[in-house]
Amino acid sequence: MIWHSFFFTLFAALACGFALAVVLTSNVVRMAFYLVLSLSATAGLYFLAGADFVGAMQLMIYVGGTLVLLIFGVMLTAQEEFIRMPTRLHEVALAGMVGLALLLLLSSAAMRIPAWRGPSEPLATTVETPHTVGPLALGLLGLRVDQTEGDAEAPRAGYLLAFEVVSIHLLVVLIGAAYLARGRVGMESLAIRPPAGDEEAEQPDEPSAAAETPA
């Protein structure tokens, strides 16, 4: 038994099983939990493929950031009637058939390439453990230190421009998301605010929220 293959089978079964559970359940809270488990198992697959930094980022950014954001969304909208929203049966059957056909097509295409079927003997003993953190950071800064000898006349391009574009994109997106998701309390209270009286004394922060919103 090859331990690399054993752990691949374990993590692949976990990832696929919980992804299937995400599809099959109709409870949105359970969907979020199964998605966390599925993407954590995917991080295990990255570690097995030698991508240790990508696996760590999968755990930290994806599971620890993006999915927590989704779970916040679930908690903010988890009214009684929105937690379970079952899909109609004929839609599930139709989507299942289309998905099965797509899966068979993609899987047969992936296993049909001879070079992708796997090496004849395990490579993990012959390849030294890659240290990917430093070369990845230098590649993001535009300096490629992972070049082979054949690249000497045509050096490989770095990713400094893409890194900057992605950084600015993330900043703009986060500002835009904060602008989109801001509360509308200030505007509505400006519209329906009672003329004067004792209600302002009960809610002392409401006039300041209204004052920040341009009329």
Partner 1 sequence: MTPLVASLLTSPIGVGHYLVVGAFLFTAGAVCMATKRNLLGVLMGVELVLTGANINFVAIGSPYLSENAVDLGLDGQLMALFVIVLAAAEAAVALAIALNFYNTIGSVDVDQASQLRG
Q: Which of positions 108-147 make contact with partner 1 (CB under 8 A)?
A: 110-111, 113, 115-124, 127, 130, 132, 135-136, 139-140, 144, 146-147
Closer residue to partner 1, CB minimum distance, 126 or 208: 126
Shortest distance (Å) from residue 152 CB to partner 1:
13
Which range of residues in 19-27, 195-203, 204-212 is near partner 1 by CB under 8 A?
19-27
Among 20, 141, 143, 160, binds partner 1 (CB under 8 A): 20
Dihedral sign computed on CA atoms, order 33, 36, 42, 47:
negative
- Rounded distance, CA 10 to CA 15, Å? 9
DSSP label of 196: S
Phi, psi of 81 (to 5 degrees): -85, -5
Who's near 41: CB < 8 A, 6+ residues apart? 11, 12, 14, 15, 18
Shortest distance (Å) from residue 154 CB to partner 1:
12
Q: Taking CB under 8 A as the rule, does residue 208 contact partner 1?
A: no
Q: Taking CB under 8 A as the rule, does residue 50 contact partner 1?
A: yes
Q: What is the distance, to the nearest Å, from the Cα of residue 40 to the centroid of all Cα atoms in its chain? A: 11
Among 152, 178, 196, 201, binds partner 1 (CB under 8 A): 178
